[in-house]
Structure 1
Amino acid sequence: MELEDQAVRARKDLFARAIAAAPGRLHLAAHSHHLWPDVTFDAQMEAWADAAALADRKWDKALGQVYPAAQALAAEELSLPSPETVVFAPNTHTLLMVLKSAIARRPVRVLSTDGEFHSFRRQAARWAEAGEIELTLIPSEGPDFAARFLAAARAGDFDLIFVSHVFFKTGLVFDHVWDLAELSRPEGPWVVVDGYHGFRAVPTDLSALADRVFYVAGGYKYAMAGEGAAFLHAPPGFGGRPALTGWYAEFGDLEGPPGGVGYTRDASRFLGATFDPSGLYRFVAAGRMLAAEGLTTAAIAAHVGALQASLLARIAGGEAGRLAEAVPINPPRAGPQARFLALRHPRALAWKQALMEKDVVVDVRDDVLRIGLSIYHDADDIAGFCEAARALD
């Protein structure tokens, strides 16, 4: 695909503040810390102004207006039947802790992979050490991964199945992840899909699965909202009484034993306690901007896909120096595509450090160099990256 045929043009104008803040920087890590659009600056200032003007009553707006707007945006993006199945938290780690606490069996029998993000990987390893869970891990690479994982899920006796839609290290897309919904039951197993590298990166429709599958993601990456706005879609009837619970989970229509601890019937049963609402202000502002500009997930994916194809062609043609020696793990293909390229090479870390010295921002996971593109990139950025890469040794 020629860059001139992209579905949408690059929109650097929407990120003028972030680009002007470091004019010499070439930021190619949108998959890691996405640059914040200008509207999020105004949203951050609005959160401060509300706190100053409303003081204690700021929560009337934060919880009565901003929070429901954030729920609605997440539900619309995922085609969820109701925004009331969405609950927000400061980070996904908090949500996973609360979710696991809602499973009564000990140890919890967990099926996952060796390719999950640190918020789950580290905690799961520690839970296993402490005897809190029995952990079964399936290798996440290899052409037969989907078949192996689905076979293990169907054959095993698990309480929790946790797996990524798009793997954070390799950018490989688990196309058959939604097949796991057939196994999900309120009594177990629960299927939890980590959608952090899929939300607003890969078009995702949960309308037919919302009653069976958990989905966790957040605003830090492709939702362009920064930290403090992670969320969980929780199917009704699953995990009614988390053991790890905060006082916000008792606001609303409660159910529970007489004289005992009550929980709301909707997803707010997973809520914690007092939090900084500014992340939700930014989440709403960024989401509304994308809608107003017609920047759908599919449109941005088409833009990024064209840039990725151009970059890989330049690398293969020798225009990026020694990067031609790297092995592309997730080259463009038919179907959903990660919003970053993953290139494997023993010198990945050294190359990342050398590029950082030139103010070219990419990142690395083990021996994998990751290059993340977004709507604020264009053909000149691809050319600039290749020029910087030619000097790598």
Structure 2
Amino acid sequence: MSYKSLFSRALSLDPERLHFAAHSHHLWPDASFDGQMRAWVEANRFADRKWDLIFGEVIPEAQAHVARELNLPSPDSVVFATNTHEFLLRIVSGVEAKPVRILSTDGEFHSFRRQGERWEEAGEAVITRIPLHPFDTFETRFLDAARAGAFDLILISQVFFRTGQVFGGITELAELARPEGPWVVIDGYHGFMAMPTDLSAVADRIFYVAGGYKYAMSGEGAGFLHAPDGFCPRPVITGWFAEFGNLTGPPDGVKYREDAGRFWGATLEATPFYRFNGVRRMLDEAGLTTADVAAHARGLMQAFQGAARDGRAGRLDRAELLNPIDGDGVRARFLAYRHADAQDWRKRLLDAGVVTDVRDDVIRFGFGLYQDTADLERLIATCARVL
């Protein structure tokens, strides 16, 4: 089935392009354009009064969408920022012991990788990184380290951005989390709206960060945090939005909201929330759940994986597929192939009008709603021709 009509504006801007980087810069559906225009109109119609509308209607709607998607007990545990890096800074700032003792991996996104390295340089953190390779033993090795170590913070991806491999030990990490530490932070950017995610059993013990840039199809600026009650009640890095609402704190000290609003920053651009709400409404009206979208992408991925394995997609049969489709379990929405020529392959495909992306020696093909079987056949044929 084709869902291209939902993306007519984006697709019409470059009709010959094959965009197989839905895991990177996901194309925006028409509903996001409508949301963008609504944000402009309401900002100018209501002017100074727009914040009442934004915090009274727009943000509560976005919070409710996130809470339903993740099966959270309450939308009050959700707060937004321009990007997830802001939340990383605020959470770590709330750890009283210095240097902060952090357990993580060697496969985290650059936002944490770079910041962590700088914290180490400055003597503000000591980071233990568990190698992803070999991945068949990774989960056991990581959980053993988490149980054995005295860490203030445990940070790990739900789906690893470079390889597409999925971490399955969130429940076990949640069992270790305590308000006094360790705090568990899950980077869910490649999980949120990429695959069904139910946090109901662990929502009272873990932080979860993600945003609208990728599978939520809403673009930049809609990072969000789910924050459990009682964990990091007074982040040192804080914004003035966090002082509105039900406040708590020392009599003569800085007050914080009691809910996730304690992580609010300062003045922010509200347009991304309009786009996100528009996309979620579109999906509801079309009767599409994350499971439906994942199933559509999975069918395309299975066909492409088979074509590559059978030698019908150029030299991809010589590459190592890091995250093959095996069984019916949850998985990333991209296929990651490792080969020494990955950089060259990406360039060859781009020159032929096919957009993918590459991380070091791994070329990634991302799949989404705006692709159909005709696109897939074109992709296979192009790979056969240029790789």
TM-score of the alignment, normalized to the shorter chain, above 0.5: yes
Distance 2:13 2:52 in 1: 34
Q: Which residue is 2:151 aligned to?
A: 158
Q: Which residue is 2:222 aligned to?
A: 229
Q: Which residue is 2:111 aligned to?
A: 119
Distance 2:213 2:241 in 1: 23
1:101 equivalent to 2:93? Answer yes
Q: Which residue is 1:81 aligned to?
A: 73
Q: CA deviation at 1:262?
A: 0.4
1:138 equivalent to 2:120? Answer no
Letter in 1 for 2:79: V
Q: Which residue is 1:380 aligned to?
A: 374
Distance 1:333 1:254 in 2: 49
Which of 295, 301, 313 matches 1:302? 295
SS in 2 for 1:191: strand
Q: CA deviation at 1:178?
A: 2.4
Distance 1:322 1:392 in 2: 9
Q: CA deviation at 1:141?
A: 2.6
Moved more, 217-226 or 318-327: 318-327
Q: Contact (CA 8 Å) 1:25, 1:359: kept in 2 or not?
A: yes
Distance 1:103 1:292 in 2: 43
Which of 152, 155, 165 matches 1:172? 165
Distance 1:385 1:254 in 2: 55
Letter in 1 for 2:83: N
Which of 289, 292, 295 matches 2:285? 292
Letter in 2 for 1:318: G
Which 4+ residue blocks in structure 1 deviate beyond 2 angstroms?
none
SS in 2 for 1:338: coil
Q: CA deviation at 1:388?
A: 1.3
Which of 233, 236, 242 matches 1:243? 236
Which of 120, 134, 140 matches 1:147? 140
- Number of corresponding residues: 385
CA RMSD of aligned residues (A): 0.9
SS in 1 for 2:386: coil
Distance 2:316 2:202 in 1: 41
SS in 2 for 1:288: helix
- TM-score, structure 2 length as denominator? 0.98
- TM-score, structure 1 length as denominator? 0.97
Query: Map of 1:1-393 to 2, 5 A cutoff?
Result: 9-142=1-134, 143-334=136-327, 335-393=329-387
Q: CA deviation at 1:47?
A: 0.6
Q: Contact (CA 8 Å) 1:329, 1:342: kept in 2 or not?
A: yes
Q: Deviations over 1:29-88 (max 9, x none)?
A: 000011000011010011111111111111111111100111000000000000000010
SS in 2 for 1:144: helix
Q: Contact (CA 8 Å) 1:341, 1:372: kept in 2 or not?
A: yes
Distance 2:323 2:341 in 1: 18
Q: CA deviation at 1:392?
A: 2.8
Unaligned runs of 5+ in 2: none
Letter in 2 for 1:243: V
Q: Contact (CA 8 Å) 1:322, 1:392: kept in 2 or not?
A: no
Distance 1:341 1:32 in 2: 12
Q: CA deviation at 1:325?
A: 1.0
Q: CA deviation at 1:214?
A: 0.6
Distance 1:359 1:313 in 2: 22
Q: CA deviation at 1:358?
A: 1.6
Distance 1:324 1:112 in 2: 33
SS in 2 for 1:206: coil
Distance 2:65 2:184 in 1: 23
Distance 1:172 1:192 in 2: 18
